[in-house]
Every structure is written in structure tokens, then in C-alpha cells.
Amino acid sequence: MKIPDNFLYYLSLHENCNERLLARAGNLTPEVVEVCIHPEVARIKKMVYAVLGETHRMKAFVRLQPLGARVLYGFFKPRHRIGEHVCDTLARRNAGIIVVLGNGSDSWISLCREGRIWRNHSGGMAIALEKLKTAMHCSEDGPSEDRSSVEGLWQVYYDSQYCPERKNPAAFHRHMPRRDQDSAGLRLVQNKRNATLEDFLSEG
């Protein structure tokens, strides 16, 4: 990872960032942050990496489900203040669809239309979804059924990709830390290809 030019933006999203730290980091260039080994600069670098890392993983781990034809929503509880940033990215990917990310106390809403982004930030996601539903007059039916069907497809496909002869749980946990799975509301279970009686007999 390289420190990006707009690293101050990412630093400002860190949960422990304050105005004083931002002001001090304002004098630094990305190159200096990258190589300087002074403890304070090293701390800034670590904070920027922490935000970049969480952002990157959240863009990958958050799963969306449809509500009517024009809304996608998903559970999201990040440690850093990256709700809006991630929501914008997903809205850009699904242009013309309202993307709602949130949890019990926060929600972020973004819509990308003709290259422009419209945003809203409000309280709990359930309330925001309720409001959207009335505003769009969309009906209740469908979504829950939809979710299980797409998720079911995914689970079957995901399980099919596992090679038992390459088993490497350490790498799995390194790439998918429990903490980040929790932030995205993800519970990745892999039905390991359980050995059948037939396998046992043929081996014996």
C-alpha cells in the first residue's frame, strides 16, 4: 500500500483522529509519511493504513439486498467514520439505485444519478428504510424471498470453490479477520466437504 495524495482525508475518517492531529499532519507530504520513522509520523501512517484497510475490506464484504426495484440495503457498522465513503462507492457501482447502509443507530443513503451523488445521513436503518418505502410506495413482497435465493446461490458456489487439499485456515483468518466480518454483518460459514462413508471405505 502506498500513502495516497489525499491521505489527510483518510486520516480525518479515523475514529481517534482530532483537529490537533490533523493540523500537525497538514504539514506533511505523502512521501514523508511513507518513509519517515519519527514516532508521531509513524502513528499517522498507521492510522491512515488502518482506515484504508477497513475501507478496502468493507467495499468487499458488505452484502446488499434489494427492497423493491430501486433500493439496495445492507448491514454496516464500521469502526472508523467511513460510512459515507463506502456507501458512495457502492452507489456508483449501482448507478440509479438508492444504496442504504446502516445499523441500529446510523444509516447512510446514497444515490448516483448521471454521475452526481445525492446523500442523506440519518438515524437507525430500519426507520430510514421505512421512510423510503412510503416515499416510493413500494410493496413488501419479494425482497425476503429474493435474499434467500441469491444468498443460497452464493453459498452453493462458495462451497464449490474450496479445495480440501489446500486447506490453510491461517491464511483464511488473515484475509478475513473476524472483526471486519462483524463490521459488515458477514458470517462466512463454509460447509466443509465432509468426508462421506464412501470416502472412508475407498481409502481403507
Residue count, binding to another protein (CB under 8 A) = 77
- Choose the binding region for another protein from 10-18, 20-28, 75-83, 90-98 (rule: CB under 8 A): 90-98
By CB atoms closer than 10 A (0-12, 13-18, 19+), residue 81 is middle
Query: Which of 24, 31, 46, 126 touches another protein (CB under 8 A)?
Result: 31
Q: Are 111 and 98 in contact (CB under 8 A)?
A: yes
Give whichever of 8 and 117 is closer to another protein, judged by the CB atom. 117
According to DSSP, the β-strands at 65-67 and 107-113 are unpaired
Question: Distance of CA 73 to CAs 109, 147, 154, 158, Å?
Answer: 9, 11, 17, 22
Q: Which of residues 55-74 bind another protein (CB under 8 A)?
A: 56, 59-66, 68-72, 74
Q: Closer CB to another protein, residue 26 or residue 169? A: 169
Q: In angstroms, what is the minimal distance from the CB of 11 to another protein?
A: 19
Segment lying near another protein (by CB under 8 A), choices 3-11, 16-24, 75-83, 174-182 = 174-182
**188 and 176 Cβ atoms separated by less than 8 Å:** yes
Can you tell me the distance from the alpha carbon of 51 to that of 84, in angstroms, rounded to the nearest whole number?
13
For the window 119-158, what string marks contact with another protein as x by the rule CB under 8 A?
xxxx-----x--xx--xx-----xx-xx--xxxxxx-xxx
